[in-house]
Amino acid sequence: MAIDTNRYRRKLRSKQARVNLVPLIDVIFTILIFLMVTSSFQLADDASSAGKPQVSQNSGNSEYYLFPVNGLKTVTVNGVDMSRYIRDSAIAIHTQVIDEGEIIIKPKEGSIVITAPPGMSPEKAVSIPQT
């Protein structure tokens, strides 16, 4: 029995190479799942998850921190409108307010609502940003 090599060559030439991506995607997802499962996750500290900036020795001793909000229109401190202190869509907020008070930023409305710590006046809680 003879092997017809010419017929086999014609058959190989007529077939187009097909690349099947499904097994490749399966392998990539398997590796991704393996890496996600075996990696170690660490819980965030309460201080870092509060959204407050971390103060370090290198950050200086600034009394006010700049809060830029795109399209900032209104700033309210303890119910008092302090929008006159806004410069270039930013406001300076006292460090004591950041540490002990509450700051709610509403970027869609372009407003910031601040609850200052007891005994702090609205004029001391915010300031005009220094450029």
pLDDT over 90, % of the chain: 37
Judged by DSSP in three states, 113 sits in: strand
Residue with structure tokens 């799942």?
33
pLDDT tens for 86-111 read 988 889 999 999 899 999 998 888 89
pLDDT at 107: 86
Report the b/e string of 42-73 with b at 16+ CB within 10 A.
eeeeeeeeeeeeeeeeeeeeeebbebebeebe
Residue 1, pLDDT score: 62
Query: What is the average pLDDT across 36-65?
Result: 64
Question: Distances from the Cα of 121 to the Cαs of 79, 93, 94, in angstroms?
Answer: 11, 12, 11
Q: What DSSP string runs through 39-85?
A: S---PPPHHHHTTPPPP-GGG---SEEEEE-TT--EEEETTEE-GGG
Eight-state DSSP code of residue 87: B
Q: What is the mean pLDDT of the chain?
A: 82
Task: Parse the chain into domains and list their residue ranges.
Answer: 64-127
